[in-house]
Amino acid sequence: MYAFIHFADNLSAWFGKAFGWLIMLMTFGVSYEVFVRYVLNAPTPWALDVSFIMYGTLFMMGGAYTLGKNGHVRGDFLYRNWKPSTQARVDLILYFIFFFPGVLALSITGFKYAARSVSYGEVSINSPAGIPIFQFKAIMVLAGVMLVIQGIAQVLRCIHCIRHGSWYEMEEADEVEETEVLLMRQQQQSKEDEK
């Protein structure tokens, strides 16, 4: 059970971080477009479409990573006051009622769209440059598969929490943290140093 959780978390983290580099490509592409459009007065027909495709890819491929880091938005005003075992029971039920059916629908439907799109080399009808989008539709399938794998790991975490009364967390190495968390930790450390 724990080996699968480690596998899923590491796989999701690898894909999330690898696709995170799209931010750099998007920044370069948008900067290039702004330069050629406003300085050289020669706009490109492809920059907007490519930035949409990269953003959509980043968004979809970051889903499993965000799920593994418990970073998705939730109605937390009741949930955070429950005991961990109650949280786990509710999460477990909701994973099977909403999460897995939705993600499986995404994967199955995405596979149909991707297969059709790849078969005729689909290009964007909204783009004057005819940007190919079949690879983007294939990302839907990969994102769905990644979410299923991470979802199984989350279910196993719920089972662990129901049995043991606490959430199973992996040790995080070299993870990015919120600025507020870092500042609070530094403030707490300086208070301890003063004592």
Cα 39 from Cα 54, distance rounded (Å): 24
104-120 per-position pLDDT tens digit: 999 999 899 899 988 98
Q: Which residues of the chain have pLDDT under 50?
A: none
Cα 118 from Cα 190, distance rounded (Å): 57
At 193 the pLDDT is: 84
Cβ neighbours of residue 55 closer than 8 Å, sequence gap 6 or more = 22, 26
Structure tokens at 113: 């769209």
Show me where the domains of the chain are located: 2-171
Number of helices followed by number of strands (H, E) in the chain: 9, 0
Cα 182 from Cα 5, distance rounded (Å): 27
At 176 the pLDDT is: 59
